[in-house]
Chains A and B, each alone.
Chain A
Amino acid sequence: IAGITQAPTSQILAAGRRMTLRCTQDMRHNAMYWYRQDLGLGLRLIHYSNTAGTTGKGEVPDGYSVSRANTDDFPLTLASAVPSQTSVYFCASSDSGAGVNEQFFGPGTRLTVL
C-alpha cells in the first residue's frame, strides 16, 4: 500500500510558468487537502475537497487552483508561478466518514520559483 504519492519530489521553476503538482492516494479517502509549509508559519491550508467533484478554498488559496475529478487524484495548479510560492507542498487525505478526521500525508514537493 503506497498511501499518498506526490510528484515531483522537487522542482525549480521560472516565475510566470505554469506548474501542476500531482497527488494520488490509494486509501479511497473521500477528503483531500493541499497545504504549504513555510519556515515559521507552520502548515497553511490552500484548498481542500470533501468528496470527488467538490472543492473549497482554504486559508491561502490565491494563485492556486485544484480539481477533483475522481476519488484518488487531487492535482494542484499554479497558473503563473511567483517567487512567494516557493515552499514545500504537502497533500493529505482523510476518511471523513470515520468521524475523527485523522489526516494522512504525502512526502511533499519542494518547489522553488525563481
Chain B
Amino acid sequence: AQSVTQLGSHVSVSEGALVLLRCNYSSSVPPYLFWYVQYPNQGLQLLLKYTSAATLVKGINGFEAEFKKSETSFHLTKPSAHMSDAAEYFCAVSDQGNYQLIWGAGTKLIIKP
C-alpha cells in the first residue's frame, strides 16, 4: 500500500532563508504527487502537483518541488522564506487511476523574524 512520509512535524527557518520541506513516498510506479498548504483556520489549497511531465514543478507563492524517482522523493523548496509562508504543509500521493489521496502527517512551517 502507498504511504507518504513527511520528515519533521515542525520546521523553523528565519525570514529570508531557504525553505526545505521533505516528502518521501513508497511506490514502485511513479504516482501523481501534490503539495497542499493550510493557513490557520482555513481549508487546504493546492500549492503544486506532479503529473509525470516535468520533474521540476513550480507552484504558487514561489514554491517549487522536484520529483526524484530514484529517491522516491518530492521535496518542497522556496529560496527565501516570507512571514506569510507560516502555515502547515501536506504532501499527498495518488496512484494513477485511484480516486483517493494518501496524505502525509503534515509539516508546520514556522518563520522566525
Residues of A participating in the B interface, judged by any CB pair closer than 8 Å: 4, 31, 33, 40-43, 45, 48, 50, 58, 90, 92, 94, 96, 99-108
B51 touches A108 (CB 8 A): no
Interface residue stretch chosen among B15-23, B67-75, B90-98: B90-98
Bound Cα distance A19, B73 (Å): 41
Q: Shortest beta-carbon distance, B87 to chain A, in Å?
A: 14
B43 on interface, CB distance cutoff 8 Å = yes
Q: Shortest beta-carbon distance, A101 to chain B, in Å?
A: 5
A31 touches B90 (CB 8 A): no
Bound Cα distance A102, B33 (Å): 9
Q: Shortest beta-carbon distance, A82 to chain B, in Å?
A: 24
A43 touches B90 (CB 8 A): yes
Bound Cα distance A106, B67 (Å): 28
Which chain B residue shows the least CB distance to A51?
B99
Given contacts A43-B103, A48-B100, A94-B99, contact A100 B51 (CB under 8 A): yes
Which chain B residue shows the least CB distance to A107?
B43
Bound Cα distance A104, B46 (Å): 8
**Which of B42, B90, B96, B106: most chain A Cβ within 10 A?**
B106
**How many B residues have CB within 8 A of the partner chain?**
24
Query: Which of the residues A42, A58, A101, A107 comes within 8 Å of B32, measured between beta carbons?
Result: A101
Given contacts A40-B9, A105-B43, A105-B44, contact A100 B99 (CB under 8 A): no
- B67-85 with Cβ < 8 A to chain A: none
Given contacts A40-B9, A42-B106, A43-B90, contact A101 B44 (CB under 8 A): no
Which chain A residue shows the least CB distance to B46?
A102
Interface string of B101-113 (1 = CB under 8 A from A): 1011110000000
A31 touches B99 (CB 8 A): yes
- B9-65 with Cβ < 8 A to chain A: 9, 32, 34, 36, 41-46, 49, 51
Closest 4 CB pairs of A and B: A105-B43, A42-B105, A105-B44, A43-B103
Bound Cα distance A107, B45 (Å): 10
